Amino acid sequence: MTTAPQEIETIALAAATAAPLLAGTPASDRAVWLRAIADELDANTDELVAIADKETHLGVARLTGEVGRTTGQLRLFATAIEEGAYAEAIIDHAAPGATPPRPDLRRMLRPLGPVAVFSASNFPFAFSVAGGDTASALAAGCPVVVKAHGAHEELSHRTAELVASALQAAGAPDGTFGIVFGREAGQRLVQHPAIKAAGFTGSVAGGRALYDLAGARPDPIPFYGELGSINPVVVTRAAAEQRLAELAAGLVGSFTLGVGQYCTKPGLVFVPAASGFDDAVVAALQARADAGNTNAEQMLTPGMAEAFAAGLSGIAAVPGVDVLWGSSAQQNDGDARAAVLLATDVPTALGAEDVLFEECFGPVTLLIRYRDEDELRQALAGVEGSLTGTIHAQPGDDLAQIVALLADRVGRILFGGWPTGVAVTWSQQHGGPWPATTSTHTSVGVTAMRRFQRPIAFQDAPAEVLPAELREDNPLRIPRRVDGVLMVP
């Protein structure tokens, strides 16, 4: 399915026409639109899940839960914009007697304009047509043009029909939402002068290509890409001594979840040498097999299956890397892939960072044995940017240096637990240094709206031209900072 160039032009220009209308629409009305989309998706969950399962093989339970996550985040954004703090309204009254004299200054955030949203393969609802990027852009007041993912085109088409229908019934302007199909359509979209920002979730190679296109435009636009992530995990010696079986079982559940096709999958696990952790993970994998989880599972696309097999073979070919469970040769298994556990030591890992510290998207993890704290810190220093870093420790462990190293490299540090699972909240940070993302913003949670807004200040403006958010009487009753003091109605 491919969208013709002329149709892309029509959709992009419709979004450009809608942009000033959305920018002038009260947040309360946009909240109605978001809830209307959520209600429409909820009402059609069974149909959508059936289509999604046929295309992705992710299972009815997983997909039904993902619809709930998707509609939940739509409603969260609706509530957030009604509250009003997202506008970051600030007023500094004139102070003629100040040195130097200060004018009346009023500042807030306004929508950027039409946003191109690139759907992800591994979350056909939550990071797709009506997912977090779409929800945050619409909440901010930006029209959205989605580039559907080829892994679930039928689902994308049907979801787009429901979104468009809900928006029309709720009174949103024409051009508020559109969708295009095909790789070339995505490239044209990010280069189209009507598009003012883009959100992307996918591979480093694909994201980097689009990022470069966005930056090479005559008018470069922000490109918010969520790309590759290795998600390092640190297990301290005390934690291994006290919770060996528990930690091993947790790791297996995390790195095999969804056939390892989570951007937060733990790909590197730093474990103390001679702690028995290797054997404990093998035992956990054996227990999983004994429970019936012995067969390879189908990955989302043939391309992903091929890339996983190639990446796995490259890792296993590094001298000093041992295969502890599974097979490193999975090229001839169709699109199905099975769990693999690999292990090595720190010197080997640091000698092959370009291979071992790269994401391998699929059901594999690499244990890296460290002999002492110095070796652990040296290894962590070689890890590139990731979405998450996890620490499993015991009371009394000195974690200061580990936390400092991870804080320079990840967007979210977990103390206990496993990174596969991202809560949609005000405080969430789903983003990290390159290559995890192309920016410092989050793509999950309420502050994801900030990607699609820009500040504007009004100096000595007549009252009648000020946006409602900045008027003296605060007609919207929103939180504002006035003369340096946070004011909450």
Specify the pairing of strand 105-111 against strand 453-459. antiparallel
pTM summary value: 0.94
* Widest distance between CA atoms in the chain: 79
Q: What does the pLDDT look like over 63-105, one tens digit per residue? A: 999 999 999 999 999 999 999 999 999 999 999 999 999 999 9
Three-class secondary structure assignment of the chain: CCCCHHHHHHHHHHHHHHHHHHHCCCHHHHHHHHHHHHHHHHHCHHHHHHHHHHHHCCCHHHHHHHHHHHHHHHHHHHHHHHHCHHHCCEEECCECCCCCCECCEEEEEEECCCEEEECCCCCCCCCCCCCHHHHHHHHHCCCEEEECCHHHHHHHHHHHHHHHHHHHHCCCCCCCEEEECCHHHHHHHHHCCCCCEEEEECCHHHHHHHHHHHHHCCCCCCEEEECCCCCCEEECHHHHHHHHHHHHHHHHHHHCHHHHCCCCCCCEEEEECCCCHHHHHHHHHHHHHHCCCCCCEECCCHHHHHHHHHHHHHHHCCCCCEEEECCCCCCCCCCEECCEEEEEEHHHHHHCHHHHCCCCCCCEEEEEEECCHHHHHHHHHCCCCEEEEEEECCCCCCCHHHHHHHHCCEEEEEECCCCCCCCCCCCCCCCCCCCCECCCCCCCCHHHHHHHEEEEEEECCCHHHCCHHHCCCCCCCCCEEECCEEECC
Q: How far apart are CA 395 and CA 442, in angstroms?
A: 31
Mean pLDDT of the chain: 96
pLDDT at 332: 63
pLDDT at 295: 75
Letter string b/e over residues 431-467, b meaning 16 or more CB atoms within 10 A of that residue's CB? bbbebbbbbebbbbbbbbbbbbbeeeebeeeeeeeeb
Q: Is 360 tagged catalytic?
A: no
Please give the span between the terminal C-alpha atoms of the chain, in angstroms, as a whole number: 51
Q: Could you tell me the domains of the chain?
A: 5-227+440-487 (3.40.605.10), 233-415 (3.40.309.10)
Using one digit for the tens of pLDDT, what is the confidence trace for 301-348? 999 999 999 999 999 999 999 999 999 887 666 778 899 999 999 999
| Residues 173-192 pLDDT 10s | 999 999 999 999 999 999 99
Model confidence pLDDT, tens digit, residues 135-176: 999 999 999 999 999 999 999 999 999 999 999 999 999 999
Q: What is the mean pLDDT of residues 10-22?
A: 98
pLDDT given at position 331:
67
Concerning whether 353 is annotated as a catalytic residue, the answer is no
Contact present, 342 and 364 (Cβ < 8 Å): yes
Q: How high is the pLDDT of residue 279? A: 97
Higher pLDDT, 297 or 432: 432
Instruction: Find the mean pLDDT for residues 230-259.
Output: 97
Q: Which of 271-280, 291-300, 344-353, 425-434 has the lowest mean pLDDT?
A: 291-300
Output the pLDDT for position 233: 98
Residue from 55, 226, 297, 359 carrying the catalytic annotation: 226
Please confirm whether the linkage preceding 193 is cis (ω < 30° from 0).
no
Catalytic residue among 263, 297, 359, 384: 263
Do the Cβ atoms of 204 and 227 come closer than 8 Å? yes
pLDDT at 333: 62
pLDDT band at 58 (very low <50, low <70, confident <90, very high): very high
* Contact status, residue 280 vs residue 245, Cβ threshold 8 Å: yes
